Amino acid sequence: MDPVHQDFFEGGAGRERTVAANERAFQRRWIVPRVLRATGDRDLRTTVAGTPLAAPVLVAPTAFHRLAHPDGETATARGAAAVGTAMVVSMAATQPVEEIASAGGPLWFQLYPQPDLDFTEYVVKRAESAGCRALVVTVDSPVFGRRERDLRNGFTDLPSGYACENMRDAAGRVRSIAMDATAGWDRIAWLRGVTGLPILLKGILHPADARLAVEHGVAGVIVSNHGGRQLDGAIPTLDALPAVVAAVDGQIPVLLDGGVRCGTDVVVALALGARAVLVGRPVVRGLAAGGAVGVREALERLATELDLALALAGARRPVDLTPDQVVTR
């Protein structure tokens, strides 16, 4: 891969403290297994916001897949479909959502609130018509994070021949993705008025915002710091999870992303109350290494490791894990 593009995929904001801390947070947790639970064969299946999943591991929305592999987002979608999980298509995808949908697996669509509401509605309707089953609204990006590697590399735009295909307006012109610092909670109410799709908010870290999310009728929240690409110094997601889970009090599912790298990481997040996790960079690495097969193998490996870790921790299903099975040292 072009090292400039690799820096885009791997890097984060500022000094990348949060990028590093997301993974480190998992290293500080230890699993306390239960024994003689007669689990038999494990059952990894779950349902989130009406979408059935073969395992509680989804593909996080990440931008510009054609820079990682010529087959782009379509390959990622094929890899996700092969393992029976959902892919969240980024608003910054380099292929049209209709084409990505041809892979056949369940898709959700990620949206950055745009200041132009008519255009936002147009994009949402397009995702809906393409068959996306949920809308993931990224709420941690009122402005764009400062990515030092990209600034150093002069990487500010897609190379020619590539475009954010889902940012085309009705006339076929590609709009730039705007970060909208004027968006407030009323925008969520407005979005609920323009789509019947379940809405999940991505980028919740504070328990008070988790409460507000419940009050605004969303179908789920994703505890996320954007993989450390927005606010450097933001709390590692695993550290934020317990308070969000407590605030939501079982009313809606809580998902988590950031730093999930192996099956035991998934076990820890599930035991602390996550319904499912999403993975960003591991999927991009799989895509870069082997296209759709690479994505499938990365996801399969996580599911296999999760199955093994569940058995060894004494759980048959993800919901059998309990918070007392994780300690911090």
Which residues are at the interface with ligand FNR (CB under 6 A)? 9, 22, 60-63, 90-92, 110, 138, 202, 224, 226-227, 229, 257-260, 279-281, 284
- Name the residue number minimizing CB distance to ligand FNR: 280
Check the annotation: does 39 bind a ligand: no
Compute the distance between CA of residue 109 and CA of residue 131 in angstroms, rounded to an integer. 10
Shortest distance (Å) from residue 91 CB to ligand FNR? 6
The smaller minimum CB distance to ligand FNR, of residues 79 and 280, is found at 280
Q: Token pair of 109, please?
A: 């669509």
Q: CA-CA distance, 76 to 138, in Å (whole number)?
A: 20
What 3-state class would DSSP assign to 110? strand
| CA–CA gap between residue 31 and residue 14 (Å, rounded) | 32
226 part of the active site: yes
Minimum Å gap between C-beta 324 and ligand FNR is 26
Gap between the Cα atoms of 95 and 14, Å rounded = 29
Q: 116 near 124, Cβ under 8 Å?
A: no
* Smallest separation (angstroms) from ligand FNR to the CB of 302: 11
Token readout for 136 is 């993931």
Using the minimum distance from each CB to ligand FNR, give the nearer residue, 257 or 320.
Answer: 257
- Indicate the helix (H) or strand (E) that contains 82: helix 72-83
Minimum separation from the CB atom of position 57 to ligand FNR (A): 10
Q: Is 68 left (phi over 0), alpha (psi -120 to 50) or beta?
A: alpha
Binding site for glyoxylate: which residues? 112, 147, 226, 229
Residues belonging to the binding site are: 61-63, 90, 110, 112, 138, 147, 202, 224, 226, 229, 257-261, 280-281
Catalytic residue annotation: 226
**Residues marked as binding for FMN?**
61-63, 90, 110, 138, 202, 224, 257-261, 280-281
